[in-house]
Amino acid sequence: MKYELNACKVEDALSILVGKWKPIILLHLLNNGTQRFNQLRRSMPGITQKMLTKQLRELEAEDIIERVVYPEVPPRVEYSITEYGKSLQPILEAMHDWGVRHTLHKQKLQTQHG
């Protein structure tokens, strides 16, 4: 290992990403750029308005995403990743890469045991 990893720091990152819909929200914003509330909602089948609002607010509180309200009728609210939020991308990529290999590993285990 490059150096000793500190558990507290790891958990700081983990606490940001933990939440049933947070990774999905982040990936949608990273992949598709700025999105309106209902645009996000439609792209996440199964999420309720309450949960989407809650998860967005939590990410906003951590300065991971930005929320911009346009004073129009009907209301328009746009969400986007902040520069700081983009710094999470290496973590998401590392997880994605691992997830891809994890699928293969599980298949291998099943072949061995099954």
Order of all β-strands in the sheet with 65-70? 35-36, 76-81, 65-70
Residue number, 20 or 76, with CB nearest to its own copies = 20
23 binds its own copies (CB under 8 A): yes
Report the site for DNA in 82-111 (rule: CB under 7 A). none
Nearest distance, CB of residue 2 and DNA, angstroms? 27
Residues 6+ apart with CB under 8 A from 79: 29, 34, 35, 36, 37, 40, 56, 65, 66, 67, 68
Phi, psi of 78 (to 5 degrees): -115, 140
27 binds its own copies (CB under 8 A): yes
CA distance 13 to 26: 14
Question: Which spans of this chain sit near DNA (rule: CB under 7 A)?
Answer: 18-21, 36-39, 46-51, 53, 55-57, 67, 69, 74-77
Question: Which spans of this chain sit near its own copies (rule: CB under 8 A)?
Answer: 1-2, 4-14, 16-18, 23-24, 27, 30-31, 63, 84, 87-103, 105, 109
